[in-house]
Amino acid sequence: MTQVKMADIQWPAVVKLTQNDELLYLAHQRDWLELACLYQHQFIDTDLLLDSLGNQYLIRATPSTIHEDPIGELPKLLKQEQKLPLTDFIKWVQKHANAIGQCCVAKLAFTTLAQGMEIVRSLDD
């Protein structure tokens, strides 16, 4: 795992919170910065950011932000060695659609990450 710079991430992206099936769509880096500020004390070690190339990044709150400092640092993003398989992303999107009340989610399919990202965006509109 290596810490990354924001310029390394390919937008759009989604955040997958471990304790929730809903995906958080991030069109731009500024969306991540906004989310990171709002969630800085709620992220857990298994939460992930997935960029549009399939790169997975663990979201790590810095130790000082977990319980002590109300105005802490932004979480760090640690790039994982393996990309997320498309089949796993399809399952994520199906669970997301189900969590927000869409029907017929088993029929929801796509062949590229870009199509999946667009589906998440359109479901959130």
Q: Tell me the helices (H) and strands (E) count for the chain, helix number first.
A: 4, 6
Structural domains counted in the chain: 1
What's the chain's average pLDDT?
Answer: 89
E strand intervals along the chain? 2-3, 13-16, 23-26, 48-51, 56-60, 76-79
Cα 19 to its chain centre, rounded Å, is 12
Query: Three-state secondary structure along 25-41?
Result: EECCHHHHHHHHHHHCC
The residue range of the domain holding 77 is 2-124
| Residues 5, 88, 11, 111, CA torsion sign | positive
pLDDT (0 to 100) of residue 68:
56
What's the pLDDT tens digit per position in 67-88? 555 556 788 999 999 999 999 9
In this prediction, residues 2-30 reach a mean pLDDT of: 92
Q: What is the CATH number of the domain that holds 55?
A: 2.40.10.320
Query: For tokens 């991540």, what's the residue?
Result: 32
